[in-house]
Amino acid sequence: MLNKVNNLYDNHEFNDSHYHLTNYIQEGPHIRHHLKLMGDKVGRCAVFGMPLHQTWSYMISGNDAPKYYLDSDAPLYYYSYTDAYIAMQFLSLTDEEKLRFDPLINGFNCVDMYAVEHIKRVLRNFPGVFTGIGEFTIHKEFVSSKIEGEIASLYNPALDCILKFAGETGLLVLLHNDINKPFPRAYTKNYVEEINEVFKKHSSAVIIWAHIGLGRVVRPLAHQIEILKTMLEEPNLSHVYFDLSWVEVAKYIAGNDKTARGMANLINAFPDRFLFGTDEMAVTEQKKYLKIYYMYEPLWKRLTPEACEKVKKANYTRLFDNAKMKVRKWEKENIK
């Protein structure tokens, strides 16, 4: 069946490795509407909800209801129902339509040692649905400090448990961790060393680093491309892949000729390690959904035909198909 859908949509322009069906107040169009937005442009889509919900605190914003995490100073909280919602949306599709989506689990608290139990529970209740976990966040500008309770950390053993379980089951991991502080000072330390340690520790898990660590105000490091090249050359990091997604990241990568050329040279040298995703959220119009794809045009035109094909489509197909096969095997062996 996977070969069928891959062949059927071989003429599409890209696969989307990063899409949120819902927003920060858990609203969004039905998955069938998103299928219409994909049309003949997008073959397959890694789909997941938003693991966090923005609180509407009347004492902070009154009748002005926030819809995004920057709309209010009120906290965010983990919204575990998102996984059941995504599963039910997926299960409403026909068998052929399902082949175009790869749902991920992300409604868990990544500082909770019970997080793995949540993931297991989702797999048991919705076998045959999920392919991976993510996008979930450790360090993220303006978000991490807004989440109620303990702040996530790369040193937390709960994260080790999550990544260890992903390695055991074959669940693909889409992890967000900024490469640096939002407004770094000369005396502050970036997260490069920490993230490398975590990745190396969990070599059995296939990990996709979302946005290559960049954000709205988390700018590329002075030697960002050299840092990525070092990671790509490291044998102990061969299980780590890099996600080119989000409109803010496109501004860095494709915003000037020097950066676009530097990233293109890197991708051309390591074409098997990058995937494209939109990181759009609950969109209702195809024009808005495809906007970020066309923003990357300065990068696309500098890639070799082979690299372009792999980043846009083939790497997605390989990673998600392999993960799906392993997770279905785990489910067969562990779910009675």
Q: Helix, strand, or coil here: 146? A: helix
- Residue 258 has a pLDDT of 93
Question: 173 and 17 in contact (C-beta within 8 Å)?
Answer: no
The topology under which CATH files domain 2-334 is TIM Barrel (3.20.20)
- Residue 5 has a pLDDT of 53
Q: List average pLDDT for each run of 10 residues in the chain, which is 336 residues long.
A: 57 96 97 98 98 97 96 96 98 98 98 98 98 97 94 97 98 98 94 98 98 95 96 98 96 93 98 98 97 97 98 98 98 94
Maximum C-alpha span of the chain: 55
Cα–Cα distance measured from residue 112 to residue 116, given in angstroms and rounded to the nearest whole number:
9
Interhelix angle for 224-233 vs 257-269, to 10°? 0
What are the start-end ranges of the E strands in the chain? 14-20, 42-48, 52-54, 76-78, 101-105, 132-137, 172-176, 207-209, 240-244, 274-276, 280-281
- Residue 11 has a pLDDT of 83
pTM of the model: 0.96
- Cα separations in angstroms, 8 against 12, 32, 172, 307, 314: 9, 18, 24, 21, 14
Q: How many CB atoms lie within 10 A of CB 198?
A: 19
DSSP letters, 215-265, are -SS-PPPTTHHHHHHHHHH-GGGTTEEEEE--HHHHHHHHSSHHHHHHHHH
- Residue 336 has a pLDDT of 83
